[in-house]
């Protein structure tokens, strides 16, 4: 019995690894779709492969379509396409296969990274393994195998090792310098939002290494040890990347104070740690229909914020390791300050728990540890909650994978295309092969990845609000003429929305409409 008990954590890790490998192979054979953020990165990659400069996105010039201009893509970090590019270069894979390998590699890295961190943070092997299993039950864990989400899966693969490093370093020496210099650059490459995590890690290290010393000079010396490599890393990131364009946090739309401004970041331990935001279909921000109406969504967020604060206090009070308690407090506090500030000034950051997922990951072993010490009824309730989370994630994965494998269109990239059917995509790729000076217009960035020989324009999709807005013309009017123009759109755009799109190209007249399939149409002008 003791031998069997001591091997439980190994069994859990082995089972999780096998599941990831199986799902990874399934996705390799039938690659996932791709989130819009990563689609933009893949557009950059294709231009780089064709000889373009690093991280440059090439587009037709809005003032004169006969010209092309480039912009440095600072809105998203480059790791989302550089990691797949590594596997493309090594194994001659297509884009979809490379994305599948990237997801599997970084998922496995995340499993063992967080397991190692949890052990280093003072938790036993079984608690650490159960915590990783709880993480694997969540929808966020399985999303990359339905939609490649780039930075999300990359930062999951790296964050555990970063936290492990923060926990393992106990003195100021060359290891601290190298760790902070390299982790800042690599973490940002994975996902730009890593910068707030990096800042929290630096604050944690400063407090941890200085704690117990009452001489202010010693605190200053420790701060210098941390500040020099941190400033060097941030300077490199800014000079080589961020200074060349805008990012989601670089601009805001003015101050707006609402209940969710502060309560949403405060609620992150439960919204992300127990997948409440995912299970509710998005409490504040959602693409599809949400389960709760705005009133009950707000009530859920505020209630979750209250219980999250209570949970963090109890974790910090009862954690087996004081450094882990400090880590939780520092990271939770920094995340609340960072996101509350950006929500307050309406930066381009959505109210989604995925942005605060690290807090959910960070508190997981503390939550499992508290439950392990509680009464049987609480343990049973926790197991039931985990079962519900896992069931909903399974229910999300199966139809999503089936849709990608059996129904979604596929082109030369191998990616599952959700914004076109196979008949329409085949027609578009045939047009691309027959032309070399045409312009294709899409309302989704992923379809442009299938156009190899011609230029593309991606405009925003139009909802009811945008149709009646004059801003659409201001944002998406392209003047001039440059060969054939093909505007691809869903059939339900025919009418007002198709008129708006065609009028965005005032120098093209006499548009011809072709019904490519029951669901999609093509407007063309030559």
pLDDT digits (tens, 9 = 90+) for 188-234: 999 999 999 999 999 999 999 998 888 899 999 999 999 999 999 99
User: E strand or H helix at 512, and its extent?
Assistant: strand 512-517
Weakest mean pLDDT among 96-100, 155-159, 348-352, 408-412 = 348-352
Structure tokens of 331? 């990271």
Is 11 buried (19+), middle (13-18) or exposed (0-12) by CB count in 10 A? exposed
| Residue that is written with structure tokens 């985990």 in the block | 386
Residues 380 and 428 in one domain: no
Q: Cβ(357)–Cβ(271) under 8 Å?
A: no
Q: Cβ(187)–Cβ(197) under 8 Å?
A: yes
Confidence of residue 466 (pLDDT cuts 50, 70, 90): low
Q: Considering Cα of 20, then 23, then 25, then 30, what sign does the dihedral take? A: negative
pLDDT digits (tens, 9 = 90+) for 61-108: 999 999 998 899 998 899 999 999 999 999 999 999 999 999 999 999
Confidence of residue 247 (pLDDT cuts 50, 70, 90): confident
Q: Cα separation of 243 and 426, whole Å?
A: 40
Q: What share of the chain is helix, strand, coil (3-state, %, to 5)?
A: 65, 10, 30
Residues 160 and 58 in one domain: yes
Domain boundary among 373, 400, 428: 373
Residues 11 and 150 in one domain: yes
Residues 360 and 424 in one domain: no
The pTM assigned to this predicted structure is: 0.93
pLDDT reported for residue 2: 43
Q: Cβ(118)–Cβ(51) under 8 Å?
A: no
Residues 119 and 108 in one domain: yes
**Total number of domains constituting the chain:** 4
pLDDT reported for residue 179: 97
User: E strand or H helix at 222, and its extent?
Assistant: helix 216-240
Mean pLDDT score of the chain? 92
pLDDT digits (tens, 9 = 90+) for 329-348: 999 999 999 999 999 998 88
Nearest to 277 by CA among 250, 301, 246, 253: 301
- Mean predicted confidence (pLDDT) in 480-503: 91
Nearest to 54 by CA among 78, 30, 38: 78
Residues 38 and 143 in one domain: yes
Residues 256 and 379 in one domain: no
Query: DSSP labels for 270-319?
Result: HHHHS-HHHHTT-SS--SS--SS-HHHHHHHHHHHHHHHHHHHHHHHHH-
3-state secondary structure 223-256: HHHHHHHHHHHHHHHHHHCHHHCCCCCCCCCCCC
Q: Cα separation of 423 and 429, whole Å?
A: 10
Domain extent for 388? 1-167+375-418
Question: Residue 1 pLDDT > 60, yes or no?
Answer: no
pLDDT digits (tens, 9 = 90+) for 278-303: 888 888 887 766 788 888 899 999 99
Q: Cβ(446)–Cβ(404) under 8 Å?
A: no
Beta strands in 73-220 (DSSP E): 147-148
281: left (phi over 0), alpha (psi -120 to 50) or beta: left
Q: Cβ(14)–Cβ(133) under 8 Å?
A: no
Main-chain phi, psi angles of 146, to 5 degrees: -110, -45
Residues 394 and 424 in one domain: no
Q: Cα separation of 115 and 102, whole Å?
A: 20
- Mean predicted confidence (pLDDT) in 263-289: 88
Question: Residue 503 pLDDT > 70, yes or no?
Answer: yes
Main-chain phi, psi angles of 129, to 5 degrees: -70, -45
Q: Cα separation of 432 and 434, whole Å?
A: 5
Domain boundary among 181, 213, 247: 247
Beta-carbon contacts of residue 38 (< 8 Å; ≥ 6 apart): 76, 80, 81, 99, 148, 149, 150, 151
In the DSSP assignment, the letter for residue 212 is: T
Residues 150 and 5 in one domain: yes
pLDDT reported for residue 464: 58
Domain boundary among 358, 393, 418: 418
Alpha-carbon dihedral angle through residues 282, 288, 293, 298, given to the nearest 10 degrees: 20
| Residue that is written with structure tokens 């029951």 in the block | 518
pLDDT reported for residue 462: 82
Question: Residue 4 pLDDT > 70, yes or no?
Answer: no
- Helices and strands (H and E) in the chain: how many: 22, 11
pLDDT reported for residue 468: 60
User: E strand or H helix at 268, and its extent?
Assistant: helix 268-273
Return the percentage of the chain with pLDDT > 90, whole number: 78
Residues 267 and 210 in one domain: no
pLDDT reported for residue 127: 96
Q: Cβ(466)–Cβ(472) under 8 Å?
A: yes
Question: Residue 384 pLDDT > 90, yes or no?
Answer: yes
Residues 16 and 112 in one domain: yes
pLDDT reported for residue 496: 85
Residue 498 CA: distances (Å) to CA of 212, 453, 467, 484: 68, 25, 10, 17
Residues 509 and 475 in one domain: yes
Nearest to 358 by CA among 57, 117, 183, 185: 117
Confidence of residue 51 (pLDDT cuts 50, 70, 90): confident
């Amino acid at each position: 019995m003791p031998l069997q008990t001591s091997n439980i954590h190994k069994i859990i890790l082995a089972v999780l690894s096998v599941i990831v490998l199986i799902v990874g192979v399934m996705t390799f054979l039938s690659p996932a779709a791709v989130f819009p953020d990563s689609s933009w990165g893949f557009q950059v990659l294709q231009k780089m492969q064709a000889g373009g400069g690093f991280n440059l996105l090439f587009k037709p010039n809005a003032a004169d379509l006969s010209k092309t201009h480039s912009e440095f893509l600072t809105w998203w970090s480059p790791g989302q396409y550089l990691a797949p590019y590594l596997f493309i270069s090594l194994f001659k894979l297509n884009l979809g296969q490379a994305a599948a390998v990237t997801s599997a590699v970084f998922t496995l890295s995340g499993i063992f990274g967080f397991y190692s961190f949890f052990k280093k943070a003072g938790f036993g092997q079984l608690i650490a393994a159960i915590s990783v299993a709880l993480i694997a039950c969540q929808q966020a864990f399985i999303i990359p195998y339905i939609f490649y989400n780039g930075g999300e899966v990359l930062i999951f693969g790296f964050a555990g090792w970063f936290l492990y490093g923060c926990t393992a370093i106990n003195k100021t020496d060359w290891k601290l310098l190298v760790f902070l210099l390299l982790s800042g650059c690599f973490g940002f490459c994975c996902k730009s939002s890593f910068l707030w995590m990096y800042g929290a890690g630096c604050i944690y290290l400063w407090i941890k290494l200085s704690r117990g010393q009452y001489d202010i000079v010693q605190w200053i010396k420790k701060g210098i040890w941390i500040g020099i490599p941190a400033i060097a890393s941030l300077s490199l990131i800014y000079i080589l990347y961020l200074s060349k364009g805008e990012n989601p946090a670089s601009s805001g739309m003015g101050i707006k104070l609402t209940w969710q401004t502060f309560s949403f970041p405060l609620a992150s331990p439960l919204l992300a740690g127990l997948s409440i935001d995912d299970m509710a279909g998005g409490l504040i921000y959602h693409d599809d229909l949400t389960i709760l109406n705005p009133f009950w969504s707000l009530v859920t967020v505020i209630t979750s914020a209250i219980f999250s604060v209570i949970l963090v206090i109890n974790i910090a009070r009862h954690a087996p390791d004081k450094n882990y308690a400090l880590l939780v407090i520092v990271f939770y506090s920094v995340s609340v300050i960072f996101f509350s500030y950006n929500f307050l000034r309406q930066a381009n950051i959505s109210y989604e728990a995925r942005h605060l997922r690290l807090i959910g990951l960070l508190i997981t072993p503390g939550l499992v540890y508290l439950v392990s010490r509680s009464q049987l009824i609480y343990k049973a309730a926790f197991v039931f909650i985990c079962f519900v989370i896992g069931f909903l994630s399974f229910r999300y994965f199966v139809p999503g994978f089936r849709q990608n494998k059996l129904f979604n269109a596929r082109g030369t990239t191998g990616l599952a295309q959700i914004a076109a059917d196979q008949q329409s995509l085949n027609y578009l790729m045939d047009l691309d092969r027959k032309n070399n000076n045409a312009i294709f217009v899409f309302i989704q960035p992923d379809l442009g990845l299938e156009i190899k020989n011609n230029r593309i324009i991606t405009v925003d999709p139009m909802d009811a609000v945008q149709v009646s807005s004059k801003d659409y013309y201001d944002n998406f009017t392209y003047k001039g003429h440059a060969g054939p123009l093909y505007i691809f759109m869903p059939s339900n755009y025919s009418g007002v929305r198709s008129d708006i799109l065609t009028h965005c190209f005032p120098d093209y007249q006499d548009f011809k409409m072709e019904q490519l399939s029951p669901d999609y149409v093509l407007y063309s002008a030559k």
